[in-house]
């Protein structure tokens, strides 16, 4: 495995249980909780996460915000808002931006290990094959210029999603 490839992993599991410096939340624009990964992270982190999110004033699509992790094993939660899939070119640009903004926040805050869900692939309808390709390529490219990040784990909730990431990562 080359240097970048050794920093990338994927697994099937529960992102709220990850023991990384940060986990990424596939949030909605309000940052005030929702379903799927977002709801699971808010439930696991406890009510303090919602209290902190209320102070942030939301988050535009393609951007990211950092909060504490509260009752999670992760010290931080990086909230990002992926695009609702529409089949247009802007979807890919917004999704790529989500990964880049999360990684930029990680570098700026000394975060060395982080876990990503499959952003926009749940209720936002992004096809897993397209989304996984964007995620893996964007993260690989970013890590090439940012050696301070030691590990990125893609935490997937289904075998189907895991298989897409394994194929892309060569695992």
How big, in percent rounded to 5, are the helix, strand and coil portions of the chain? 40, 20, 40
Q: Is 129 a catalytic residue?
A: no
Strands 76-80, 151-156: pairing is unpaired
CA distance 89 to 54: 32
Give burial (CB, 10 Å; 0-12/13-18/19+) of 87.
exposed
Q: Which of 14, 19, 38, 51 is catalytic?
A: 38
Residues with catalytic roles? 38
């Amino acid at each position: 495995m080359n240097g970048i490839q050794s920093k990338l992993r994927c697994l099937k599991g529960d992102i709220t249980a990850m023991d990384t410096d940060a986990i990424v939340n596939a949030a909605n624009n309000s940052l005030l909780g929702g379903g799927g990964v977002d709801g699971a992270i808010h439930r696991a982190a406890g009510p303090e996460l919602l209290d902190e999110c209320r102070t942030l004033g939301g988050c535009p699509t393609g951007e990211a915000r950092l909060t504490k992790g509260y009752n999670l094993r992760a010290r931080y939660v990086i909230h990002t808002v992926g695009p609702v899939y529409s089949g247009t070119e802007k979807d890919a640009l917004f999704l790529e931006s989500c990964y880049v903004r999360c990684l930029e926040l990680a570098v700026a805050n000394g975060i060395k290990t982080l876990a990503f869900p499959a952003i926009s692939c749940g209720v936002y309808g992004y096809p897993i094959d397209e989304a996984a390709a964007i995620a893996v390529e964007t993260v690989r490219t970013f890590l090439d210029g940012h050696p301070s990040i030691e590990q990125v784990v893609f935490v997937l909730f289904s075998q189907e999603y895991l298989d897409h990431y394994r194929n892309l990562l060569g695992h």
